[in-house]
Each structure stands twice: as structure tokens, then as C-alpha cells.
Structure 1
């Protein structure tokens, strides 16, 4: 079968595994372990499992493997490892490759939990962390030294939508042999080709666009087979951050409409941003797709889009912002007003 598939075909078919029953839909293998015909066969599998052999669900599972192969193909990496949450992916990618005495350079504009891992967890274990303004290439050049082991950034920050120039920062990092770890969740695998632009390891919270319906937590780390299977997998399988088979099945189903949803969301985001740009009750509208955004050119060059999210500041401070939020209503059967703590759900 040809692998010269377009994105939407990949999102439906890549990595499919069918049992002897020839099922049409991806099967959910809800099992925590697997049986072996003999004790010798069990020993052999623990020593070295083949590509389609499994030992324990924390190490791997057919359903989870389908999802890993599908997202790796979409991202353009050799392999991927599915995790229990986006933060399991971030912390696993960082902690599996770092040790006491190593130096990391990170952008300062980060999701709070990412900042905690870098600022508290890693430094507590002796990893030196330097924070920079992610949009300032001169700060990256000054901070990255021959002893730097890795750089970390969100390609589009949460929630200020500040972009990092992936190609330029990757060139700076690679010049000293540092690993480039990119949290690409807001840019999405639909718009951002982070690996083509220089990233070595790409991290996603699949809770966001990939599920897209607010059903499950998940994450994934994409990279070379060497990094995924030799560096990351031993850490993840022994510390327990693996994705469950049921969650992997949810993510597989979410991927089927990922391209359609992300493009529709980006179109809507641009329409909203343009409509809100001159609103008298807003002090600022942040959307990289607007020509007024200071990184508009970078957004179009790096993503070809402004992305799926719009951020704005309401005049009048917290009281006015809360009044606005409380006035929002999502029409459900009981007309309850709902606030969501995770982005990119179609029901948000």
C-alpha cells in the first residue's frame, strides 16, 4: 500500500492494526497484560519484544501503538510515545534526557505547569535553567553556551500567543549540540511543521486539538526512534506516565477530524479577531493572524495561519473580565453557563 498519503488520509488510516476478525474501526485492546505460550517465550519477549509484540500496557499496547504511529506520521518523525497527559509528555521529555549539572535554556512565556517543571522540579534536582524572552534571538544567542544540553519553548505560548522562531532558535541550539524540545500544542500539527523547521523533539497535549471534544487527558512526544525508545521510553514505562488504551482510542477518533476542525477554528479565530480589533471595551486583542500583531510575518512563515485561538484584554480589570465571563452562555439542554479550563474543545 502506498504511503504517499495526504494529511486527511493519514489522519484516518495511518498505523491501523487489524485483528484476525478484520474489524473496520480501530479496536480497543482493554488489557493490562498479554499471555505467552511458554515461559521461554515470555523470557524472550522481555529480553527483546519485536515491533508487533507487547508485554504490559504501561510499556505498550496495540491501540496505543496505532495512535503513536499515526501521530508520528503526521508530525514527520520516526516514532512517538503516548503519555497520560500533556504535562506527562513535557516532564518526561525533559527529565528523561537531563541530569544534575546539565544546562537548559527556556523561553519565559510558558504555561504555568511547564514553568513549574523547569523552575522547581528540574532545578531541585540540580539542572541549571536559564530563562529568556522567547521572541528575542539575541537573548537566545547569549544564553545558549557550549555546555547547554537542551532548549525548551512553546512555539506559540499559552495564553499570550507569543511565537518563537523555531528555525532560528534550532540553529542556535544545534551549533552547540543542544537538543531542541518544542511544545507545539497551540500551533498544532496541522499548521506547524516543527521538525522540518529544526525541532528534535515535539510535544503535544492531546487533550487539546487532537481529542478536540473535552473527553480525555492525554499527551504525546514525537522524535527519533533513538530518543523515543532509548531515552524516553525507559523513563516513562518505569515512572508510569503512559497513555491508557481507551484514551488512545479516543485520540485516534479525534484525529479523523483534526484537519477539518483546526482549519475551521483558525478561520473563525481570524473572523473574531478582526471583529474585536477595534472594540471599545477591549484594551488589546492578540491574534498572530492580524497584520497588527508584531509577529504576524513569522506566524505566516512558520504556520501559514494565525492559529486557532484569540486572546483579548477587557477594560476595567478583573471585575469587568469576570462580568464578561459570567455573561457568556453555552446553549445546552439546561442552558447552564459553562467555563472550560482546557482549550480547543469543539464544545468550548
Structure 2
């Protein structure tokens, strides 16, 4: 029999080469009970505040797109936490006589989604990187212990943008001098443009840096400045990779958001129809209102869970590409855990390297020293 040729086995890091292959795991992570409960909890609090303290949802404009006249998908649902913070800020800035409650709503929404985002990102990282079932109390405790870092991380880029705008404002002061104002404006205009571009660049990146900073606190246990520096370096070092991952995550979010909306609409319609069999029209209308409110709460919570799940996975991909940090390395874990090992080659036994082959059995000699140790049974019997 001819000897078998040597077989060379090489491992291919598909996650590094094709990171989008594992974006499908965002579905199972976003629909995990821990993440769903956290998202719904924030949605309930915000909806109750809009009913009692903040302006109601009917008083704010929403950017919506209707598909085939039947399914309405608001573009703001894809980035629900960012929308809940940005929309009241925009209305406070542009609406005439806007109440201060818009600003308070933005701050409250930012705080709630940040704290819940750290807990959701922590659960997602444990599931995605280590294939373990996360503990909801443990994730909440992790978020509470790092509340200061997660809430103040956004102040670093925001403070930098404000400082640049303040310098530009100071440079514009001499423009009011009658004799030298025009000359000063002409000379300082390039500097003011540079300062404005730098501040605008930071403000445009802020909606992208915020979820990455939250993920950095959840995954690596970073402080405020470290979370900002990590996120900023990841985005600027791999700008095209970041854009590609964001586009892929957006496509995935669109499909999943439409699926969530269709399922919830079908469920509420079926429940209202079933209730109409045994109740009056007034009771059915009341039931439809209650079910519709809970439908909005659940949908809002699912969108928030989906957003933070995708943000965490994008952060893990960028961290592995830029810093060469393996996926299974998480803050709070010291063991070298690799959940996804290579499968054995077909036809070869799956033997771990540390296993040793037992020594051959010792057989006693024929010098009368006694019977053999552990004798094997004879095959075939006597002739």
C-alpha cells in the first residue's frame, strides 16, 4: 500500500477577511430576552414621560417612508436611540418659542439609552464573543458601575467642538471695529473656516462615536477618555471599513425592522379581530388603543435593542481589525476562552495535543517469572 501524502491544514480567519458573515448573529442577540427587556424598559419610561411631562409623539414631526401604501417604516426607527436624543434637540433649536422640556427630554433620553446601551452591549458581547448566556443583573450592575464613564464620554468630543467654535467666535469679535473690521475678517476668514470644518467634522462623527463609545465601555471597561480615543481611532483608522460595516448593518436593520413591524401589526390585528367576536364596538376600540400603545412600546424597544446590538458587533469587528484584539477577550474575563475551534479533518481522529498515547502492555518473559500482565484473550481458540 502506498503511503498517504502529507496533508497540510491551514486555518482561514473568515471573520477578519469577511466580517459581514457574522452580522447575521445580530438577530439572535437582539432578540435575546435580556436585550429585549432592557430595550422595552427604556421604551416604557420614555413613552410614559411623553404622556405626562414631555410633548407627545403627535406634536413632533417624523420622517417616514411608506412602502406600497400599506407598511409605514420611519427612517428614525433604524437609529432609535439617536433619534430620541437628536429630535428634541433639533426642535429646541429650530422651533419658535420651544419649551425647555425639549432640552430636558434630550438629556433624559441620552441618559436612559446610554445606561441601557451599556447593559445591552455587554450582553451582546458575551453572547457574540464567548457563546455564553449573559446574566441580566450582571449586565445591569456592569452598566451602573460605569455610569460616570459612559455618560461623560460624549463630553470629550462635544467639549472639543465647543472649544473650536468658541475660538472662532473670539476671532470674530474684532469684526465690529469700524476701521479694521473688514481687514480683520479677510485675514481671519481662512482660520475660521478651518475651525468650523474641524468642529463640524466632530459633530458629524458624534452620532457614530456615541454608540462606539458605549460599546467600548461595555466590552473593554474603558473610562470616558479611553472610550473616546478608542472609538475615534477605530473610525479614523478604518474609515472605509467603518462605512462598509455601517451600510451592511443598516441593510440588516431595515430588513429586521420591517419584519418586526409586520409581525406586530399582524399580531395586534389578529388580537383585535378576535376580541370583536365577544365584545362590543366600544370595548373593541378601547382594546385596540391599549394594544396599539403596547405595540409601539415593544417596537421601540426592539429597535433600540437592534441598534445597540449592531453597534457592539461593528465595534468588535473594528477592534479586531485595528488593534488585533481577539473577539473572545472581554473585560472581566481572564480565561483564554476560544468558543469556535477548528473542526478536525475528515478521516482523522479529533485528539487533543495534550493527550498522550498509553504505553504498550508489558508481557512477562518465558523465564518463569509468572503470567503476563493484563493478558489479551486468545483469538480463534485451540486447533
Coarse TM-score class (shorter-chain normalised) = under 0.3
* TM-score, scaled relative to structure 2: 0.21
- Structure having greater relative contact order (Cα 8 Å, sep ≥ 6): 2
Higher strand fraction: Structure 1 or Structure 2?
A: 1
Higher helix fraction: Structure 1 or Structure 2?
A: 2
* TM-score, scaled relative to structure 1: 0.23
